[in-house]
Amino acid sequence: MLSKTVRKRLIWSSVVVLITLLITAGSYTGVILFGNYTIDEKDLVMSELTTVVDQEGNQVAHLFEENRELITIEEVPEHVQQAFIAVEDHRFLQHTGFDVRAIGRALYRDITSGSLQEGGSTITQQLAKNVFLTPEKSFLRKTEEVLIAVNLERRYTKPEILEMYLNQIYFGHGAHGIQAASKLYFDKEISEISAEEGALLAALPKGPNLYSPFIDEDQSLERRNLVLGLMERHGFLDKDEAVRLQGRTLPQEPSAITANPAYRTYVDMVLNEAEERFGIREDEILRGGYEIEVAMDRNMQELLHDQFEDAAIFPADSAGQIAQGSAVMLDNESGGVLAVIGGRDYVRKGLNRAEIPRQPGSAIKPLAVFAPALEEELYEPYSLLQDEPVEFDGYEPRNISGTYEGEMSLYDALVDSVNVPAVSVLNDLGVPAAKAYLSSQQIDLDDDGLSMALGGLTNGVSPLQMASAFRTFADDGIYRESYVIESISTTSGISILPDRELRTERIYSEQTAWYMTRMLEAAVTDGTGTPGEFPGALAGKTGTSTDRRDLWFTGYTPDVTGAYWMGFDRYDEDTVITDSSAISVIAMKALLRDVYENETEQLAFDKPASAEDLQDPIRLMTITDLEVETNLGFTGSNIHLSWTGSEDERLAYRVYEVTGNGDRKLVEELQGQDSYTIRGQNLFSKKEYQVVPYNPQINREGDPSNTVEAGFSFFSME
């Protein structure tokens, strides 16, 4: 039997072992519980930049709070992973979250130095510190760091931890994560990085500002070569290769990661539309890692931006203000915004004048007056309209020219932008009907007066609204709501569906749309839109508000629709504009020349199959050279009349015999002829004749010709 002493020793030994096991188990359980409590996996979901691309996949902009692009560990070359392991944690693959040796060395140095200088942190501890803890240095925080690191190692594999670490760390100059750093320092994808480049990236996290090659090249080179030396020491490189790589040069300047200033207005509109139409707030866009495909034409956007950098295209400055402007270009097929500028020197989150209402002047006439009247079949293009001073329930519109024709065709009233006929048409159409047509194209007005016909509005219309409504004519009468975002997808490729669909509605028949296109095309070639040069097909309308405060041109080619506005943000008694809307016409035509380059001659509007074409207007002429010749025939005298006719063979001529008291009797109506013979007349009678031009389009005669006398004489008067 065991002696009493031995039994006591065994009992005490067992108790000590049991207590030790309980303490160990309790400590381990405490570590696990603390780590589980501290770790919130949502904190490991890192913000990632959102990429904006055009429809061909070309990058337009990066949107971010932190410039970060997440990658998988499989995308990181092995030599790059080894560079980080060599310099940051060479026992990374062996330890379980913390390295006792490294902690011991760091603790010894901290004690001897009297301060917390040495980190001794593993890669896993650094990840724990950066994601879950504050940057303070204390023994307690170091303990928390270790506890979290142990739990991270329980939850994730080594490759997963290294992936999170490389995506999370900061590399300087705004680059978060190794992919952003790779593009910043080398303009490469991380998968393309060489061993010495990877060594430089691994050198940076300890002191991004200290070791950046763009700040201190000597320190950066020394640090990079230290990393290459450590890679050789730990068996990742052989000695000769390390020496060779240490001789490589460093990058000299960062690759640009800032957005092109040409895209600022567009990017702001993307952020607004993402929230309004897709329900994604701006802060989520800036950190969510989305890919946003937009309707932008980058070439057109950059051309528009460059144009707005040229002060010569704008009115002169006045009263301490620079003349402002905005422009928007839409795709005729889809309604997508191809290019947009919110103003000169536009800044992010600035005043986007493309969406600010302004007084449209006569540019509103096609939308509020003429197209609705045609659609309602109140008039046809060559219907005659009143053109004389008149009062409409107290409202007395006046023509800018101060002259009045008495009557003119709707065609001419639109082409020449005559005011009184426009108001007359709106009076017949009715303001409520006009507002309904505008509202169906998302232009909602509070106005109820006939001044709407001339653009006299309470709040006005924005360039984007004007372009969208004019685009309806180019799309055969179908309105499509404008937009900037084609699609949004997550990093995993899942498409985000919009909260609402874009509005699409037929507003006009194809016939009405075609009539408007033909008349607006004439407004550019023969009317108020003639300034400037553009050899391709272009239809459009100018607009000038009271006192020339707003100078407009809105027009379209077969492919694109655009609206230009120029003016000042504020007006007082000293603010003066001496230019006209011609300046906006010239600017848009200049942009279109650059956009189409040598392709303008192929541009032509296509008539819808269901529509009848609109013939060019027939113009009356004045005949001043009517001549008569009389000769003898078998049945009496033959009277031959001749005159100089019009080149337009559609013009008709009415031959009249002038009777007593100035009355006239119609003899014949001819078309496309410049002579007529009256046969079998009384040999001894004398008759007078006139020829009057007649326009069958408008059912109107022109001025009568000179009067000639026809008669046969047997004796000479000489």
211 in Cβ contact with 227 (< 8 Å)? no
What's 617's DSSP letter? P
Residues 225, 222: Cα–Cα separation, whole Å: 5
Residues 69, 408: Cα–Cα separation, whole Å: 65
Angstrom CA distances, 570 to 208, 356, 495, stand at 47, 13, 43
Given the DSSP bridges, would you call strands 291-294 and 59-63 parallel, antiparallel or unpaired?
A: unpaired
The Cβ-side half-sphere exposure at 487, using a 13 Å CA radius, reads 10
622 in Cβ contact with 628 (< 8 Å)? no
Give me the phi and psi of 279, to 5 degrees please: 70, 25
What residue has token string 């510190």? 129
Residues 708, 49: Cα–Cα separation, whole Å: 87
Nearest to 584 by CA among 304, 331, 315: 315
Annotated catalytic, 88? yes
As given in the structure block, the two tokens for residue 311 are 């002060």
**Which is the catalytic residue, given 48, 69, 88, 375?**
88
Neighbouring C-beta atoms of residue 181, cutoff 10 Å: 28
227 in Cβ contact with 204 (< 8 Å)? no
Element (H, E) at 406: strand 406-409
**Which is the catalytic residue, given 220, 362, 424, 581?**
362
The total number of residues written for the chain in this structure:
718
Residue 669's SS3 state is: strand
As given in the structure block, the two tokens for residue 677 are 């013979």
Angstrom CA distances, 626 to 82, 435, 643, 652, 659, stand at 102, 52, 5, 15, 18
First to last CA, the chain: 179
Annotated catalytic, 192? no
What's 176's DSSP letter? B
Long-range contacts: 713-718, Cβ < 8 Å, 24+? none
Return the active site residues: 88, 362
